[in-house]
């Protein structure tokens, strides 16, 4: 029997997430969404709908190919499935895509989509084209619970985890928009995926793992695990599991080298401190000089950008013998942000200290700032509008009350 898995919902504050059973709202039309199901669950969905097991195995294999290799959402277009079966499939199943509420294109070519789920929750994804690659920044949650002070997404409340189907649906939608069907490893514009959108991926571990397994499956999207990076703010107990069960590249949102500063800007540090985090990085399965761990470091003026900070970062990476690359991120401003970006001169000086120690420390070029698509800027426009509407409604009520 096909059942909806319990989703791991994080508890705000200094507590680990605990599994809380969540009954997902069924589709309004009562059909089962095949997107996001494993091969086994896809077959079981067919069997549960009274298809004979041998037929379910065959049809499951055909459906998988059409969904993940050809990008087809219309059963009538599946030419190796008999026409008489198309209505049967259409009555019971659907192959979804996220609803696109708004699509924006930056002056630098970056694309951002505001997406809406079947239960009317909004989230965002971003595609960043470069000369030699195209990177899709994928969200794992609606909102976020970590409250990192430099991050606009962190000012949102956590609404819920995204399902595996909603996560892989972002990849499918991007492939639709780029015209990259049928699936082929050659000549792709979308070459890389980073789990760096809205939310903390390791607080939605099962759905992220299941979605990425679909993305990496050789019979479908077939994206190499070396082309996928998962970013975490430091959910230490889940890091080893991520290495063992997903095996993609690891990026760590470090952003500070002292307890005082990291406690302030990444509150999760109060639970899992810098030393504990770096030891988990040293133990991460598969990390080596060929697959270095990326340490993300947002440059905040007069907060974490001194020469002393750079030297301490070098010391920490050497102490834990980490195969590391440091990604320096100029702070991307947003309304009401409590910080300013470090000056270009300060960023260069910081970078030079790390480079001179033999550790790569490039500065990320901000992309998509004009459409709020840059790192740390993602926050759904729908929430901004709803809060503005609520403010107006509250003001109107006060006027009505005299």
The residue annotated as part of the active site, out of 124, 166, 264, 296, is 124
237 and 10 Cβ atoms separated by less than 8 Å: no
Beta pairing, strands 111-116 & 122-129: antiparallel
- Exposure of 349 in the CB half-sphere (CA atoms within 13 A): 12
Q: For the chain, what is the radius of gyration of the CA atoms?
A: 22
DSSP 203: G
Q: Residue 238 to residues 125, 148, 233: CA-CA distances in angstroms?
A: 24, 19, 11
374 and 126 Cβ atoms separated by less than 8 Å: no
138 and 199 Cβ atoms separated by less than 8 Å: no
Q: Residue 142 to residues 67, 135, 385: CA-CA distances in angstroms?
A: 25, 21, 16
218 and 240 Cβ atoms separated by less than 8 Å: no
The residue annotated as part of the active site, out of 144, 148, 151, 375, is 375
Beta bridge partners of 126: 112, 137
Beta pairing, strands 293-299 & 324-330: parallel
Angle of the 205-216 helix axis to the 164-178 helix axis, nearest 10: 40
3-class SS of residue 312: helix
CA distance 145 to 160: 10
124 is catalytic: yes
Q: How many residues does the chain have?
A: 402
CA distance 22 to 30: 18
Angle of the 274-282 helix axis to the 236-245 helix axis, nearest 10: 20
- Paired tokens of 220: 């479908």
- Catalytic residue numbers? 124, 375
């Amino acid at each position: 029997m096909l059942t909806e898995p319990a989703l791991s919902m994080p508890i705000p504050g200094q507590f680990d997430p605990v599994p809380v059973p969540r009954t997902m709202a069924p589709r309004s039309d009562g059909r089962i969404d095949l997107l996001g199901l494993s091969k086994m669950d896809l077959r079981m969905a067919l069997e549960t709908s009274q298809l004979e097991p041998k037929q379910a195995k065959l049809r499951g294999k055909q459906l998988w190919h059409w969904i993940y290799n050809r990008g087809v959402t219309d059963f009538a277009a599946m030419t190796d499935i008999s026409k008489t079966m198309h209505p049967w499939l259409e009555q019971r199943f659907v192959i979804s895509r996220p609803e696109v509420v708004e699509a924006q294109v930056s002056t630098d070519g970056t694309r951002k989509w505001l997406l809406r789920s079947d239960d009317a929750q909004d989230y965002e994804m971003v595609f960043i084209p470069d000369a030699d690659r195209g990177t899709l920044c994928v969200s794992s949650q609606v909102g976020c619970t970590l409250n990192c002070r430099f991050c606009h997404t962190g000012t949102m409340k956590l609404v819920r985890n995204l399902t595996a189907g909603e996560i892989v649906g972002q990849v499918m939608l991007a492939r639709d928009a780029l015209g990259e069907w049928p699936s082929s490893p050659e000549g792709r514009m979308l070459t890389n995926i980073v789990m760096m959108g809205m939310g903390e991926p390791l607080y939605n571990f099962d759905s992220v793992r299941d979605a990425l397994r679909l993305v990496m499956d050789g019979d479908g999207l077939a994206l190499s695990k070396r082309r996928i990076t998962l970013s975490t703010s430091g959910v230490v107990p889940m890091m080893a599991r991520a290495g063992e069960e997903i095996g993609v590249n690891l990026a760590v949102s470090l952003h500070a080298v002292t307890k005082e500063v990291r406690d302030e800007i990444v509150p999760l540090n109060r639970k899992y401190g810098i030393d504990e985090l770096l030891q988990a990085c040293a133990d991460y399965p598969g990390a080596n000089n060929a697959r270095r761990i990326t340490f993300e470091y947002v440059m905040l003026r007069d907060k974490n950008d001194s020469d002393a900070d750079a030297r301490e970062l070098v010391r920490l990476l050497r102490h834990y013998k980490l195969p590391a690359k440091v990604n320096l991120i100029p702070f991307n401003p947003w309304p009401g942000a409590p910080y300013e970006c470090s000056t270009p001169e300060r960023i260069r000086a910081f970078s030079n200290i790390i480079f001179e120690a033999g550790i790569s420390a490039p500065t990320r070029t901000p992309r998509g700032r004009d459409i709020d698509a840059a790192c740390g800027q993602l926050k759904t426009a729908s929430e901004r509008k709803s809060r503005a509407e609520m403010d107006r409604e509250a003001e109107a009520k006060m006027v009505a009350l005299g």
